[in-house]
Amino acid sequence: MDIPPKPTLKAIKKFRTLDEIKYAMKHVFQDAQLGLAGHRKLVVILKNVFKKAIELNQINFFAMCFTKLLSKVLPLKRGVLAGDRIVKFCYSFVNGLVKDANEEKRSKEEEKEEKDKDEDKDTNESDKNEEDQEDQEGEGDQETPISEFISYLIKYLLSGIEAKDKSVRYRVVQTLAYLVEFLTEIHENNTLEALYTLLSNRLQDKESSIRIQAVVALSHFQLFEFSIEGDTGEFEDELISSNQIQNKLINSIQNDDSPEVRRAALMNLVKTQDTIPILLERARDSNSINRRLVYSKIARELITDLDDLEFEDREFLLKWGLNDRDETVKAAATKMLTIYWYQSVNEDLLELIDQLNVKSAIAEQAILAFFKNKPEVLETIKIDESYWKNLTTEKAFLMRTFYQYCNENQLHALMDANFPELLDLSITLEKYLSVRLKTINENENLVKTWETYNAKIDELDNQIFSLENQISRINTDADNFRKSLSNIEEDIIEINIAKDLFKKRIKQLKNNSGNLEDLITEENQEIADQIKDFSMEDLQQQLEDINKNLDEIEHQPEDITAKLEELQTKYDSCIRALETTSELKIQTVQIFEQEHENDCIPFVDALKELEFIINQLLLIVKDFDYGDEMARRKLLHIIRMTLTEDKLPDGLISVALRVLRALSINEKDFVSMAVEIITDIRDSRDDEEFHSAAATFDDDDDDILGNGDDESQQSSSLSAVTKKRRIEPDMPPDDIVLRCLTMTQYVLEVITHSLDDHLSLSSIYSGIVNYAIQNESKKKLYLAGLTCLGLYSLIDSKIARIATTTLLSAMRSNGEEVKEIGMKAIVDILAIYGMSILDKSSKYKYSRMFFKVLNSFDAPKLQCIVAEGLCKLFLADILYKTDKRSLFGNAIQGGGGGGGGGNDDPTTTNDDETEEETDREHEKHLFEAIVLIYFNPNTKSNQELQQILSFCIPVYAFSRINHQINLAAVSGDVIYRLFTETETELSPSVIIPQLISWCDPRNLVKLSNEEINQATSHLWQCVYLLQVVEQVDARNVKRCIINNLNKFHITEELESNQLQALIKALDATVELFTNNEDNPNFILDKPTKKNFDIFIESIKNKLEIAQKREENESIKSGTNSILHELDDLDIGTGESSQISIKSETKRRDSDRSSQVSKTTSPETSENEDEEDDNEEEEQEKKKSFTDGKNKLELKADKSITFKAEDKREGSVEIDHGQEQVLVESKKAIDSNVEDSLKDIDKFLEEADDVDYGDISMDD
């Protein structure tokens, strides 16, 4: 039979058979897949075919042919244009049918209305309305050919929504995503229920492309509510509301791994007051496109008026957008501010500033960005005399930011046109300060009311602070008791097992029957090994000792349990008191606000606005030109008077002191004036309460004040108790002490020189700072004292050593606020002085505290402080530092503890080296904890922590080759812990490629191709991950590691012995799989095995190339020892300092392979067990050190010592000829080796100085 020609509208009218309909539909679909241009015409043709099928009563046949033709594109993969065109054509066709039906319905309603108008007007209106409602209900429930066709089509598609073929699932859900727009045409509740349920299931599909289409499809359900019938009469119908649909989309927005899925949900979620925070939250999405969409589309759609958006939301949007690391996101946020928001306030800049809230942290940055992107606005700003006289918060803020922008961009013409001379500006500042004092004096009663209220709040805060600290101490004690109880219970169990074994063994020996092996169980195996040679007398003696020990400790669990119950009682009491006090504070605030709503609170708000204006004037003055000496003196007088006599708030004190610093001749002059001001404040009590400031300050200050006659003040070693007795009676009220502490804090933040240059500051430290630290019950005083202690530590090493102990004690016995201040202080101290500022016990205690806080997800802010601080210390090589020895080829070890102190003494003893190794292990565990926290799923709840780690770890990894080696060293432990020690839903296919990317030398900055190809970080990481294959049971981890081996950047430019070490590790892994063929965990699929074989073959080929290259090179000896390099140098002429860093790095990498080849498993020992193990290691090191020295003096550089050890440990790889060359070379340079080593030390120290950057590492 010949194929009929393409259908036309005229031909369709003559259709009489089913074949004509079928072939017409085939032609339409054939043409539809060729392009979108003809779809409009093809839809018209297919609609006529549909109408003809209705006339012939063959609607089911039409639907069957339609789905049959549609099914031919379902197996097409995503991206195939023919499939996409057919799906869009189906939507266009159905949409055309529905539109035609709606038009027809509308025309019928209009005809009916006209007909009703012509009918008798006396007809009862209520009867007519009832009839209309019945007609509408009947029409709504009635099945039409169109609704019947749509239901048939959806049912057909639902039958393939769970197909095994991902392409079929994708095309089905894609088509449904278009068709769910016509939900109103589905009259069968069962079809609607099935559609909703199956689409919801596709939100969990493993293919992200399918999840995207499911999100789009479900988004149409947000506009409807329907019920799902229960399976039986026992279950009620479940109402599916729009909120439930929205919750599903919100879950996809927040938790889906695919940025495209999150984007689809973001664009399709209905915008309501409940969903707006969820949408704006995506401004911190990990994907830059999603973040940009929030600013370019979502925020624009939400905002017609800025008042529609909460202030917090506006602030967060600007904060995240203007500080985004992606320039496109930053540009979108800037455009939102400068165009959409600016237009929403009718281009009124003061109104825009008012909407931003000038007191917010982001307002300044926002306005400066506004000026930068709209420079034409600058010309419209006019600041005249009337402007200065009528300043408001918005005007003052605009004036200050305008001046700052002009000053930073050297727009001197604008500055001269709008700002007066310094003398006039000083007078204006003085007037506003006078207005402030006048306002306070005229409202004395309100001021007293406000101060009384603040005193009550402070007292309640002190009570809450004390209770929180008590709770913290109780928790610490309870944890210690629980650990002790657990240990004692384990000891009792072990003693009873031993006791039972001893009795049975004694009985055997008495009866002379049986063997010890008969008594061995899994529990007593270790004890049995220890007593196998014991006689009956020995066993009886041991049994007596055991009984004594048991008598001593068997009652301890009861005592500890009683103490725990007592602590629990105290804890419950403190919690109740804390809740009561917190409620009382809330009630006090509410009562005060209600009682003083019309007097005190408006007064305080007005005073704060006035202080804000003064703050802005001070900020302008701070950067002003001080060329006019008379004006400078005038301003200096104003600043000194207001700091001394006015009770300024903290914000004004800070800015005023910075102005004072700018006005001072130098830093010493500034400190002298600041100390004088603090002393005057200290002595500003009433006459009847007056005590001289000299009573609490050192003899340094006594000489200045003329009160140095007290003999006790001449001693610099007074005990803390004596100081406390002497200080307490002479201290002014706490509010004055707090003012002094606040001013001291800001002074310390400004200065840069050491305390030795500012002896007057030491008197303040020994006086008010020590006094504040001793008052733990007074919150503000104590916290200010700790803050000042931390700042003093940064300018004096002696105070820093004392502070490390004081801060540790404070953090261990107080709550979270104290810990936050303490952690910030100790991180700053370590950044300045390095780990050498801590003694041995403090290093261990701080390491444990850091580790504990890192894993405390119930204290997110403290967790962020520690994580950020540790990342900075790691980045600066203060922690986990690669020392000199590793530069010459030793394995990754040692030197972590001396990152900051800079111990250059070549006479380091073995005890010091052992301590360094222990410290380095602790630091390695901390670094490993940082990486583990990054992958921890709980980190998602702490976005700040997630952002810190997402930035800091890549920066650390891509900054230096040594950092990548350090990261490679912990990679095995990280994988082992993630997939062995804890149950996790993490995927190795995400974590392993991430670790490999961090250690990829191609990501390093400022390295040549030659240096990248010679980097060994990936080689060591490969070895460590191969060890994990042996240790981890999870098959998916083994398979993922092997499949990712091809991502390692390992080149033939590496040394042959390094590649040989990798070959040995690979051979060991192959042998492991061969020996465990029957173990299901060691069975590899064919693709994985093929990838493994390809990788092994490629490494072998690279090894051959490396060996040939080395044979062709003109190398005097075949060893990598530094002694040979020294032999090649002209020592007598001092040319040893010309060693190239490339050659040293090359030898460092090559020698490390000897230890890597011997490595068995990542170390996972706990900190508590390391000290005992180090004693045995120390003895072994001492012995090998003495044997290998060959009478070289101890003051020789430790790199030589370790090279001697390397020669012994790596002797398997050195033949006899090479060994003879080594001996001869050593003899040749023995007389001058020390001078050469000093030159090398000098070179390495210079290299270390370069690595440290701007951080001072001096002790």
When pLDDT is averaged across residues 656-664 and rounded to a whole number, the result is: 95
Are 1164 and 973 in contact by the 8 Å Cβ rule? The answer is: yes
Copy the structure tokens of residue 739.
């003012």
CA distance 1203 to 4: 90
CA distance 660 to 674: 8
pLDDT score, position 1204: 33
Give the single-character DSSP code of 360: S
CA distances from 765 to 721, 731, 758, 1259 (A): 16, 14, 12, 21
Position 273 pLDDT exceeds 90: no
Bridge-partner residues for 226, per DSSP?
A: 240
Are 761 and 752 in contact by the 8 Å Cβ rule? The answer is: no
Global pTM value: 0.74
Are 1103 and 1063 in contact by the 8 Å Cβ rule? The answer is: yes
Confidence of residue 882 (pLDDT cuts 50, 70, 90): low
CA distance 510 to 508: 6
Copy the structure tokens of residue 1075.
């020996």
Among 655, 677, 674, 676, residue whose Cα is nearest residue 666: 674
CA distance 892 to 351: 61
Chain segment 211-240, per-residue pLDDT in tens: 999 999 999 888 776 666 554 444 455 667
CA distance 684 to 39: 89
Torsion of CA 720, 722, 725, 731, to 10 degrees: -60
Copy the structure tokens of residue 1118.
């075949």
CA distance 825 to 897: 19
Confidence of residue 985 (pLDDT cuts 50, 70, 90): confident
Give the single-character DSSP code of 376: G
Count, residues in the chain:
1259
CA distance 26 to 169: 24
Are 1044 and 988 in contact by the 8 Å Cβ rule? The answer is: no
Confidence of residue 1250 (pLDDT cuts 50, 70, 90): very low
At residue 1254, the 3 state secondary structure works out as coil
Residue type for 8, please? T
Residue 567: is it exposed, middle or buried by C-beta count within 10 angstroms (0-12/13-18/19+)?
A: middle
Residue 774: is it exposed, middle or buried by C-beta count within 10 angstroms (0-12/13-18/19+)?
A: middle
pLDDT score, position 917: 84
Mean pLDDT of the chain: 81
Position 1106 pLDDT exceeds 80: yes
Q: How many CA atoms lie within 13 A of 1226 on its CB side?
A: 18
The secondary structure of 398-433, three-state, reads HHHHHHHHHHHCCCHHHHHHHCCCHHHHHHHHHHHH
Position 252 pLDDT exceeds 60: yes
Torsion of CA 1247, 1250, 1256, 1259, to 10 degrees: 0
Report the share of the chain in percent with pLDDT over 90. Answer: 52
CA distances from 1220 to 600, 1205, 1224 (A): 93, 17, 6
CA angle 636, 640, 645 (to 5 degrees): 150
User: Cβ of 1143: how many Cβ atoms within 10 Å?
Assistant: 10
Higher-confidence residue of 399 and 719: namely 399
Q: Which CATH number fits domain 431-601: 1.10.860, 3.40.50, 3.90.1010, 1.10.287?
A: 1.10.287
At residue 733, the 3 state secondary structure works out as coil
CA distance 786 to 792: 10
At residue 686, the 3 state secondary structure works out as coil
CA distances from 130 to 92, 106, 109, 137 (A): 37, 20, 16, 11
Confidence of residue 540 (pLDDT cuts 50, 70, 90): confident
CA distance 835 to 1164: 23
Confidence of residue 1203 (pLDDT cuts 50, 70, 90): very low
Task: Please identify which residue in the block is written with the tokens 């207005």.
Answer: 435
Which residue ranges make up each domain of the chain?
Answer: 9-114+144-187, 277-405, 431-601, 664-685+731-838, 841-888+918-1113
Chain segment 33-86, per-residue pLDDT in tens: 998 888 999 999 999 999 999 988 889 999 999 999 999 999 999 989 999 999
Of 44-58, 137-151, 1188-1202, highest mean pLDDT:
44-58
CA distance 109 to 766: 93
